Structure formats: structure tokens, C-alpha cells
Amino acid sequence: MQSAEAYWRLSDGVGNWVFAAVCVMIALVLMRLILRERITLQGSMSYLLFLGVLGGMVLFPDVTGWVAHALGFSTLANFFFCTAIAALTILHLRALVTLSHVHLRSIALTQELAIVQERLDRVAAQLARAERASSSRATEPPEHAT
Amino acid sequence: MRLLVIIPAFNEQQALGGLLDELKALPGPTGVEVEVVVVDDGSADRTPEVARGHGARLLRLRRNLGIGGAVQAGLQLAEREGFDFAVQIDGDGQHPPNELHRLLEAARGPSAPDLVIGTRYRDNPSGFRSTRLRRLGSAWLRFLLRAVTHLAVSDPTSGFRLYGARALRMFADTYPYDFPEPEALAMARASRLRIAEVPIKMRERQGGRSSISGYKSVYYMFKVTVAVVLAYVRTRRRARGDKGRDAVG
């Protein structure tokens, strides 16, 4: 029979620290990507928050256990997985919204670029024609006054 | 009166030259100034060079947007430059340019529809017969459009279309992307545009390959089914919102 205290533990003490270390490592990778401007800070804040919450949950199992119990979870691991899945779903949805927005903007900009480019090409062609006409006029021999 | 012919083209170097020659050889409809623009949808072949070589205007999309994005770019050009009508013709040569006058006649007729669709299934003067799978898909889309939007059209996937001023304004602003033809019809219906159909001759594609084949057909049917319903609901809500704002203003 498990004691109530053991029941609320996520794993033994070492396991908790290992998981927290993994969270820190992922956070470090994330920070590195931000520093190299591969991802933006604004876009990754929610992800950093998610990692922070997960890390906090494993480092402070008593508080986590109390919250889980208050929410009606009988096993801490279930609470942990539910929280992680819910957070990942929200993060994915948020990424999807951002991606769709960027996709639509990219389509609009591609169309705009094509229209502006076409206009520029036409103006350049008109200028070239006008230049050719003026240079051919300049090289023509002057008419004799009658 | 000005008319812009929009030819969306993706790797259509084989068929495009002939199509542009045919368009050039057409006797101009009386009182209508016709211009042709090829919208190159990020082709990897010589499509842009062929378009330029045959004297057409050219919009070069820097990446492939799909047929919807290409057509919308052409419609935006038409709207900005004050064209009265725009006609969409496939770049594969399936739509004979000499049928263009039928669409124009219908648009200038007494009922003055906002959107004219060239149909290959009504009266069918050319005896054109598409594949069984396509006919089945077309039958499903006819049923879907009738059930959802109460719109009866015989050829919901036809890409031979004429846009009047109202349709131009609307679709230059919002146009569906992936497989847009049936979805655009749902939007037009929801916006209360007047839609007419005209029988036209169709012919086999003059070059290139169809973009919808194999497993894509299944995806196409599923996506279009969802898209038609959503487009109709979204456009109806938007139209109601606009009307409400006008009433308040």
C-alpha cells in the first residue's frame, strides 16, 4: 500500500531534478535561438512560460499536489499530463493563428509585388522608348531653313 | 468600355503561345478595349518569356500561390486600373478564346449579371465530355451549392468566367485560394451578386498537366465541401455586418 505522500509524488527526488534540468536545457536552446534571431522573443514568450510552469511543477510537488487535489485529480501524474496537453494545445492553436496570418500576408505581398513590378517595367519601357525617340531626334541633321 | 483578360498560368509554356495568338487574332468586340494579362504563378519553365514574347502584360508572382492567388492578382490589377470587366481564361488552352464574346454578350445583356460562367455541360455545343470522376465530382458540387446556397449552376468548376464591376470589387478584396471556383460561387451568392451561365465549347487541354489528379481529387472534394459551407456563412455574416453598419451610418 502506497503512503499518501508517495502517491502525490511525481517520481523520486532525482527524477524531478532531471526533468527540471531538461526544461532548463530546452529553455536555454530557446534563448539561443532568440539571440540568433531565428525566432522572436514575442513569439516564444508563451513557450518560455510553459517551460517555466512545467519546471515549477516538478520542483515544487507539494504545491502542485495541493492544486491537483483541489481540482479533483487523484494522481499527480494525471494532473501533470493534462496540464501539459492543454498547454501544448493552446500553444499549437496560437502558432496556427500566427502562421495563417503570416501566410495570408505573404500572399497579399506577393500579389502586391507582382503588380508594382509590372507597373515599374511598363514605366521603364516607356522611358526607354522616350529616350530612344529623343536621341534619334538629336542625331537627325537639322532641317534647312527655306 | 475596357475588358481585361486574365490568364493564370503555371508551367504552361506549351499552350500559352497559341492561346495568346488566338486572343490577338480575335476581332475586337465593338466598343470594347481588350487587354491581356498573364499571371505567372511561379512557373519553373519559360512561361514568362512566352507571355512577354507574345506581347501580353505579365504579372510575375515570386512564388506559387495556386490558381486562386493568381486570379486574385489579375482581378486586383483590373480593379485598380478601372477595367469594367475581367475575364478569366485557363492558360492550358481548354477555353477557346472565340467563345469570349458569348460571355461578354451575356454581361451586356438586359439582365446585366455580375458574374457570367461559361458552362460546358448545358446544351454542350462541342460534345465535350470530361472524365467520369470529374463528372461525379461536378454532380456533388452542384448538389452542394444548391443545398447550401440555393444556387443552380450546371458547371460549378468552370474556370471560364466574366466578372462585372461588382464582382471585380468583391473578389479583388477577398478571393478563395486552393480550389476556388465553387467557393467563389458560394461567396457570390451570399453577397447577392447576379450570376448567369452561358453554354460554351470546351476543348482538350493544349499542353501541360492537370493539377487535380489521383489522391488530390479526394482532398479536393473534402476541402471544397467544407470551404463552400464556410464561405457562404462567412460572406453572409460579412454582408449583414456591412448592411448593419450602413444603417447605423
| B233-249: average pLDDT | 76
pLDDT recorded at residue B94:
87
- According to CATH, what is the number of the domain B2-248? 3.90.550.10
Residue A100, min C-alpha distance to chain B (Å): 13
Taking an 8 Å cut-off on Cβ atoms, the answer to whether B65 and A113 are in contact is no
* pLDDT number for residue B70: 96
Share of chain B above pLDDT 70, in %: 90
Res B213 pLDDT > 50: yes
State mean pLDDT over B116-137.
Answer: 76
Query: Could you say which of A111, A121, A122 has the minimum Cβ distance to residue B73?
Result: A111
Q: In sequence order, which residues have a C-beta less than 8 Å from that of residue A40 and are 6 or more positions away? A: A34
ipTM above 0.90?
no
pLDDT at B203: 78
Chain A residues whose CB is inside 8 A of the B174 CB are: none
- Spell out which residues of chain A touch residue B39, defining contact as CB-CB under 8 Å: 114
Inter-chain touch A107–B59, beta carbons under 8 Å = no
Nearest residue, CB atoms, A113 vs list B39, B62, B77: B62
Which H or E element spans position B198? strand B195-199
| Grid cell listed for B60 | 510575375
B74 phi, psi to nearest 5 deg: -65, -40
pLDDT of residue A146: 47
Read off the pLDDT of residues B48-106 as tens digits, 9 standing for 90 and up.
999 999 999 999 999 999 999 999 999 999 999 999 999 999 988 889 998 999 999 99
Spatial separation of the C-alpha atoms in residues B98 and B136, rounded to whole Å? 28
CA torsion sign for B24, B26, B27, B31 is negative
Q: Which of A110, A118, A122 sits opposite B62 (nearest CB)?
A: A110
Q: Which of A110, A121, A122 sits opposite B61 (nearest CB)?
A: A110
- To the nearest whole percent, how much of chain B has pLDDT over 90? 58
The pLDDT-based confidence of B20 (bands split at 50, 70, 90) is very high
Interface-testing mutation among A107, A113, A117, A123, with chain B (most B C-beta atoms within 10 A): A107
pLDDT reported for residue B214: 64
Asked if A111 is an interface residue toward chain B (Cβ–Cβ < 8 A), one would say yes
Asked if A110's CB is within 8 angstroms of B63's CB, the reply is: yes
What residues of A are in contact with residue B37 (Cβ under 8 Å)? Answer: 118
B-chain residues near A119 (CB < 8 A): none
Please compute the mean of the pLDDT values over residues B116-144 and round it to a whole number. 79
Q: Walk along chain A (146 residues) and give the pLDDT tens digit of each residue.
A: 455 455 555 555 666 678 778 878 888 898 888 888 888 887 788 888 888 888 888 788 888 889 999 999 988 888 888 998 999 999 999 999 999 999 999 999 999 999 999 999 999 999 999 998 888 877 776 665 54
Put residue B87 in one of left, alpha, beta given phi > 0 → left and psi -120 to 50 → alpha: beta
For B173, the closest chain A residue by CA position comes to A108
* pLDDT on residue A90: 92
Mean per-residue pLDDT of chain B: 88
- At B166, phi and psi to the nearest 5? -65, -40
The residues spanned by each domain of chain A are: 4-138
Confidence of residue B210 (pLDDT cuts 50, 70, 90): low
- Measured between beta carbons, which residues in chain B are less than 8 angstroms from residue A113? 62
Least confidently predicted of A36-45, A66-75, B1-10, B143-152 = A36-45
Q: Can you count the helices (H) and strands (E) in chain A?
A: 5, 0
**Predicted pLDDT at A1:** 45
Pairs across A and B, CB distance < 8 A: 37
- Judge whether B63 and B42 are in contact, CB under 8 Å: yes
Residue A115 to residue B80, Cβ atoms within 8 A:
yes
